[in-house]
Amino acid sequence: MKLIVGLGNPGPKYAQNRHNVGFMAVDRIAADHGFSPWRARFQGEIAEGRLGDERVTLLKPATFMNLSGQSVGEAMRYLKLTPAEVIVLHDELDLAPGRVRVKTGGGHAGHNGLRSIHQHIGEAYRRLRIGIGHPGHKDRVAGYVLSDFAKAEQDGLDDLLRGISDGAAALALGDDTRLMNAVAARVAPARNSGTRPERPADPPAAKAPPAAEPPSMAERLRALGDRFR
């Protein structure tokens, strides 16, 4: 069994924030893979179902971001899981929009949700880092992560969330390569896969006229004789 946690802040005020992309990802997984309706549990909301052969509980902590570990720790202990069976989906400033990376263990890089989870279950859980880009200066980070995705970003965001959902079974099974391929297929489709028009074929090159054959020896002698008549 796996516990897959999406990080975010509860309530409609924050629903479209960049900081809530973890919530958005687990919502898409639940909708696409026929999970149970969301219900209150473990200081958050859970939905239950299967991804491939793996039983999965999805969790959205309702404790606000900086207390996420309370909800995650309670759910992990009740379900009798180890940190290695917990997967956290969260926004990542150090990745460009549309990019994802899988990581196990390591530091929290100042992310308040991860910092709280570290405090409650340690660092040995897996993370799916979902790129949101960086505003350019650390003083702008707080306002940036708590602002909504721009309208111009919506199509790219939808492709990214669909890709994560497509690869959710691979994520649960630890097949990171298949997960990354699923995301790439949505975010950067292969050429001529039906998503982009094919380049028109070049017109055939015009054929050069055939070269004239050189005159025969008899014709050359006859022409030479004509000159001296």
CATH number, domain of 100, equals 3.40.50.1470
Whether residue 87 is contained in a domain is answered as yes
| Per-residue pLDDT tens digits of the chain, which is 229 residues long | 999 999 999 999 999 999 999 999 999 999 999 999 999 999 999 999 999 999 999 999 999 999 999 999 999 999 999 999 999 999 999 999 999 999 999 999 889 999 999 999 999 999 999 999 999 998 999 999 999 999 999 999 999 999 999 999 999 999 999 999 999 999 987 554 444 444 444 555 555 555 555 666 666 656 555 555 5
Q: What's the predicted TM-score (pTM) here?
A: 0.82
Q: So what's the pLDDT on residue 189?
A: 75
Provide the domain count of the chain: 1
Whether residue 211 is contained in a domain is answered as no
Q: What's the residue count for the chain?
A: 229
Q: Catalogue the active-site residues.
A: 19
Whether residue 46 is contained in a domain is answered as yes
Whether residue 200 is contained in a domain is answered as no
Whether residue 75 is contained in a domain is answered as yes
Whether residue 112 is contained in a domain is answered as yes
User: Cβ-count burial of 95 within 10 angstroms (0-12 exposed, 13-18 middle, 19+ buried)?
Assistant: middle
Q: So what's the pLDDT on residue 109?
A: 86
Q: So what's the pLDDT on residue 169?
A: 97
Q: So what's the pLDDT on residue 204?
A: 53
Its domain, for residue 102, covers: 2-187
